[in-house]
Amino acid sequence: METQNMPREQLGVCAEGNLHSVYLMFNANDGIEAQLRPCLANVAQYIYELTDQYTDSAFNGFVAIGANYWDTLFSDQRPNNLRPFPAMQEGNRDAPAIEYDLFIHIRCDRYDILHLVANEINQMFEGLVELIEEERGFRFMDSRDLTGFVDGTENPKGRNRQEVALVGEEDVSFKGGSYIHVQKFAHNLSKWNRLPQKKQEDIIGRTKQDDIEYASEDKPLTSHIKRVNLKDDQGNSMEILRQSMPFGSLKEQGLIFISTCRTPTNFEEMLRSMVHGDGHGNHDHLMQFTKAVAGSSFFAPSLDFLANYARD
């Protein structure tokens, strides 16, 4: 990706993995946009500065604005491809949409720092927004999902993370920003854990212990990997950068799935392939063991874009 004149991105969009996370979903009060714009800029700058203060524990984060709220907050310009979450349903496979106005994503290798910062951010927003949802994620074993399989193996590496996740010259006003999709998946682990390991591996498309992807000819058409490893009309891989983490208690546990990408199309096509399949009845069999209970669409603009509203 071109780096000259690249606005400062929010560092959490492309950050490497962490041990802990806090996800905050807010809805804004009516008529407070003039106060909320500079407040958002201050929160984003605060998160940015804390990455230096808490370098040793790899603190990072970002602020994102909901697709349905964007025009209320920034009526003069809008990211070219920002659109609501693509709710889908087919048979017993459901990907519902629950939209929020704001998403604050913070991660760190120290839980106490996250707790402190989440409280600070909540206070900075006081009187402007209402906290609707809060989830806390954690690294499970060696970056595995609670199903026991390594998560994010297909993620782009190194500088390619920026290439995949950040808007470039195709939308100059929003260079350095990212389209964010968030889903909350609740796993049926008791059902999953009753499966023989080979059956689990066939459903995922890779080995459980060693994380080795099946050869292409051995991969079932209903395997998760087969359904999400897609190519566009030109034969290019449709990549996303996954920032997902497990969450939960004994009552409910699963995955907070987070996609960051320079276009929403890649995530939308993956979800369509999982839920609706390939047109020949081959959908993602992993969805027999996990249920999407929420889905939201956001845009995380660059720090420089937000800074324009610091003194609204």
CA distances from 140 to 3, 104, 120, 159 (A): 34, 22, 27, 26
Torsion of CA 70, 75, 81, 82, to 10 degrees: 10
Contacts of residue 134, defined as CB under 8 A and 6 or more positions apart, other chains included, come to: 22, 23, 24, 25, 118
Q: State the Cα–Cα distance between residues 87 and 105, nearest whole angstrom.
A: 22
The answer to whether 151 is a known catalytic residue is yes
Residue in 151, 171, 211, 284 annotated catalytic: 151
Coil, strand, or helix at residue 295? strand
Rounded (to 5) percent helix, strand, coil in the chain: 30, 25, 45
Contacts of residue 238, defined as CB under 8 A and 6 or more positions apart, other chains included, come to: 230, 231, 232, 265, 266, 269, 270
- What single-letter amino acid sits at 275? V
Contacts of residue 212, defined as CB under 8 A and 6 or more positions apart, other chains included, come to: 206
Q: State the Cα–Cα distance between residues 307 and 46, nearest whole angstrom.
A: 12
Element (H, E) at 47: helix 33-53
Active-site residues: which are they? Answer: 151
